[in-house]
Amino acid sequence: KQEVTQIPAALSVPEGENLVLNCSFTDSAIYNLQWFRQDPGKGLTSLLLIQSSQREQTSGRLNASLDKSSGRSTLYIAASQPGDSATYLCAVRETSYDKVIFGPGTSLSVIP
Amino acid sequence: DAGVTQSPTHLIKTRGQQVTLRCSPKSGHDTVSWYQQALGQGPQFIFQYYEEEERQRGNFPDRFSGHQFPNYSSELNVNALLLGDSALYLCASSPTGAEQYFGPGTRLTVT
């Protein structure tokens, strides 16, 4: 059974710092991995999606990497801003038709 | 093009009651999935509908049921509500086999 974990559960950093969020999954046979952002009480905003054949994806200050063999992904946020404060969720999909399996999230707070 | 929409935004129900949540997918999306997100946790998969049939189901009791209409919109029904059913309910739509897009969610509070 696929399980997704995220470390740390919460993170507080001063504005301007670069930071890394970690995601681990137990079964390396995934179809894709996706990072989401969730503001309090709101829905999910997709940040980056990495297909199983890819190693990384970049969007602006965000870079996500995928190492299927080790069952790990990292989300790198450069030059953090207070507006980056949110919960970041990692999720995997095992087939193109399958459900999305989420981790518990990392709550990020960027202090001005 | 409107994204995934859900109604209502918020809902308060009493234990034992029944509730229906609604989801309209993005235009052209034929697959709808429902997720439950308890406070402080990641979303948990409830079920997925495709061509008006339930294609996959997560580990949720039969009190949770759903429906998909010919226009691909969907409903989630929960019977005999429990306090533990209080959560954010998220709907996601996708074209067949493609990336899922999530709606804003319905916040259900059971008192």
Q: CA-to-CA distance for A19 and A108, rounded, in angstroms?
A: 10
Q: Quick check: B43 and A41 CB within 8 A?
A: no
Inform me whether the pLDDT recorded for A94 exceeds 80. Answer: yes
- Taking contacts as CB-CB distances below 8 angstroms, the residues of chain B near A41 are 88, 107
Residues forming a β-bridge with B56:
B48
Radius of gyration of chain A (CA): 13
pLDDT band at A96 (very low <50, low <70, confident <90, very high): confident
Mean pLDDT of the A92-97 span:
84
Q: CA of A59: how far to CAs of A7, A82, A97, B15, in Å?
A: 22, 18, 25, 44
B43/A89 Cβ within 8 A: yes
Cβ A100–B100 below 8 Å, yes or no?
yes
* B99: chain A residues, CB-CB within 8 Å: 32, 34, 46, 49
pLDDT digits (tens, 9 = 90+) for B22-71: 999 999 899 999 999 999 899 999 999 999 999 999 999 999 999 999 99
* Partners of residue B45 in chain A, C-beta under 8 Å: 99-101
pLDDT value at position B1? 65
Task: Please say if the pLDDT value at position B97 is more than 80.
Answer: no
pLDDT at B100 over 90: no
Q: Does A89 touch chain B (CB under 8 A)?
A: yes
- Tell me the shortest Cα–Cα distance from B111 to chain A, in angstroms: 19
Residue B80: which pLDDT band, with cuts at 50, 70 and 90? very high
For the record, the structure tokens of A18 come out as 């670069």
Inter-residue contact B31 to B95 (CB < 8 Å) = yes
Give the closest residue to A49 by CA, choosing from B103, B105, B94, B109.
B94
The pairing of strands B53-57 and B44-50 is: antiparallel
pLDDT of residue B2: 76
User: Chain B contact for A108, CB < 8 A?
Assistant: no
Number of residues in chain A: 112
Angstrom CA distances, B15 to A53, A110, B80, B85, B90, stand at 47, 39, 7, 9, 21
Place of tokens 């970690």: A22
- Confirm if A29 and A23 have CB atoms less than 8 A apart: no
